[in-house]
A and B are shown apart, each in its own frame.
Chain A
């Protein structure tokens, strides 16, 4: 019998191949978080990068690995992608060492985002805790760009301490805007803090919600969801108009590696954004 010949072929379309992206700006937001602006180098990849708020990318640093990061910029911002990255692991740690002009890799966008089109014409209530502001920031900016298409927009954002408040400069400016009701709260204030004190759920006492016309969106640490949803339900909001975004270990982004399983779904293709009706029917979700 003849011995087999080794056959090799190039890979034409490879969903695991990251596209090189150049870091065009780095802003230190807090001691742990930086906001990176990235630009895909390849023209075709840049043109094809069409995303929704709530979707994520795989940030790929060869030699270290990949990490799923939600997109913080709005889809209306053309040509650039913003990622808010907390230094909390190998890949994010390596990212924090990068400088402007360095090249990293991106795969994506992946997943199901917020239903922006359906949200139009309605009031919006956004609730963020900690780094959960990162994906909601994309939605906030997108709403901002189409502000006339929405009713009242309320943003409740809770952080542990004043130094951990993300996007603080922008939010400080926004405090004076009439078209966004923005309330910031911290658990542990310092002497400079002039905003609210306590958990984000406490802020529900001071807001009015029209349950027939409001979409909710929540993103924060896992422990937060149940309490915020309870507050929204107290305001009589419908279960299928409350949207939550889940953090899981999305590794491949394309529903194959299995790491982001949540109940019978995968966060990377079925989520990471689910409405509460879907989430209620998902084991391990909330």
Chain B
């Protein structure tokens, strides 16, 4: 990795430069929240945002997308195409950069998902440092920093950004569009002070040790019944989660019933029919079993395959849950045997 120092006041030059070739998507204000949205004016970009309602996954794995158009008569595929629009996601926090790396394990693994891959291949990532809010717990998983998965990462060191540059493309863009300079030891010292400040700013002190053991040993614990009684089964936790990748596929017929489109949409293991099979069998018939599965899969199922937990501590599900079910609360319940 190599580094540059970019004065904050010239950053709009980089955004404007990028916009010549890319669709720039970044955090913008929408009412009293922030969302990732296309940015038409560099001034709209709100790098001081705390979090977005929906995560960055929708720019790679949209909430709904057409997989293929088909003809019914001979079961033929008529058309399938990939979205290859050059895009830059500008302003992802470290948790969201890490979430994409976790998604990559699933969608770019042994059998790559072409729809996800096309977008991933054609999207640049510019990360930006943040300070934790009251729901953040990325420190519990070590996902509050990232050293992969971005082209440029901007760490706020006062009047300047300390820019970590990870890719050839990132280097080209910085050199071409912004007046930047080489780093000095003082800049690196400022970077370290910022990192220490970040580390010290967490209000949660979540102990996540030994979760796989606790999840298996307490699989039949009544904490899951307590949590199941609270859960509304709305699936909001999955929708706002930057690492929930489950999907459903259904066919929509045209009015003529001769053609149609096969559509993929986000799905959630919190929905009752998620694990149902034919002849009335449902392997997760209760809310308790579904709440449990979400955590079991994130903290153990995924870990058993990819050696990382499927959570980046962004706190979006904590905010979204109307029943106050959150990863810190579930982890504490696992440890104490009681739902607080």
Residues on A facing B (Cβ under 8 Å): 1-2, 4-18, 20, 60-67, 86, 88-89, 92, 103-105, 222, 247-249, 251-252, 254-259, 261-265, 283-284
Contacts and interface: CB of A to CB of B under 8 A. Distances in A.
A6 B85 contact: yes
Interface stretch (B76-84, B124-132, B166-174, B191-199): B76-84
B86 A259 contact: no
A165 to B, nearest CB: 18
A67 B249 CA distance: 11
Given A92-B278, A248-B277, A263-B301, A12 B85 contact: no
Residue of B110, B113, B245 ringed by the most chain A CB atoms within 10 A:
B113
Nearest to B118: A9
A65 B41 contact: no
A88 B36 CA distance: 43
Nearest to A249: B277
B133 interface: no
B284 to A, nearest CB: 8
Q: Size range of the interface on B?
A: 35 or more
A256 B114 contact: no
Interface in B301-327: 301, 304-305
A68 B136 CA distance: 40
7 contacts: A1-B16, A1-B20, A7-B84, A11-B80, A62-B76, A264-B300, A264-B305
Interface string B52-92: 00000000000000011011101111001111111100000
A10 B245 contact: no
A20 B72 CA distance: 12
Contacts of B296: 263-264, 283
Interface string B268-291: 010000111111010110000100
Nearest to A254: B111
Interface of A is mostly: loop
B289 to A, nearest CB: 8
B172 to A, nearest CB: 19
Interface of B: 16, 19-20, 22-24, 38, 40-41, 67-68, 70-72, 74-77, 80-87, 106-107, 109-111, 113-115, 118, 122, 216, 219, 245-251, 253, 257, 260, 262, 267, 269, 274-279, 281, 283-284, 289, 293, 296-297, 300-301, 304-305
A37 to B, nearest CB: 17
Contact of A255 (B84, B111, B304): B111
A284 B293 CA distance: 10
B113 A64 contact: no
Given A103-B74, A256-B245, A283-B219, A4 B114 contact: no
A24 B279 CA distance: 27
Contacts of B257: 63
Nearest to B74: A103
A13 B115 CA distance: 11
Given A17-B77, A62-B72, A63-B257, A89 B84 contact: no
Contacts of B77: 17-18
B70 A1 contact: no
B251 A258 contact: no
Identify which of A6, A20, A283 gathers the most chain B CB atoms within 10 Å of its CB: A283
